[in-house]
């Protein structure tokens, strides 16, 4: 097999990032680039052509991603329990 760019494998979606979340819970297919995945938390495209799933995992370990994740989580909590008087 010739080795070129690393393509995306669906099984990556079941891998866990360092926060214990599956990659599939926050990233989805980037329809414009088969070598990239779209992070729905950061709302940006992540290239995974060099080190594959590892690039997605290290992106999820970034401060910005964690902040965005926390923010989304906080918002959903507020929606669930209503706002304090």
Q: Using CB under 5 A as the criterion, which residues of the chain lie in contact with Zn ion when the complex forms?
A: 39, 41-42, 65
Please say which residue, 9 or 71, places its beta carbon nearer to Zn ion. 71
**In the complex, least distance from residue 77 CB atom to Zn ion, rounded to whole angstroms:** 20
Please say which residue, 34 or 43, places its beta carbon nearer to Zn ion. 43
**In the complex, least distance from residue 62 CB atom to Zn ion, rounded to whole angstroms:** 7
**CB-based burial, 20-37: b 16+ in 10 Å, e otherwise:** eeebeebbeebeeeeebb
**In the complex, least distance from residue 64 CB atom to Zn ion, rounded to whole angstroms:** 7
Distance CA 39, CA 26 (A): 6
And the tokens for 66?
């964690």
């Amino acid at each position: 097999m010739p080795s070129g760019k690393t393509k995306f494998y669906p099984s990556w979606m079941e891998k866990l990032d360092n926060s214990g979340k599956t990659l599939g819970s926050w990233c989805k297919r980037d329809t414009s680039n088969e070598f990239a995945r779209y992070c729905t938390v950061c709302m940006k495209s992540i290239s995974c052509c060099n080190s594959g799933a590892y690039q997605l995992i290290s992106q999820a370990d970034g401060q910005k991603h964690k902040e965005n994740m926390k923010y989304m989580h906080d918002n959903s909590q507020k929606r669930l329990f209503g706002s304090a008087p």
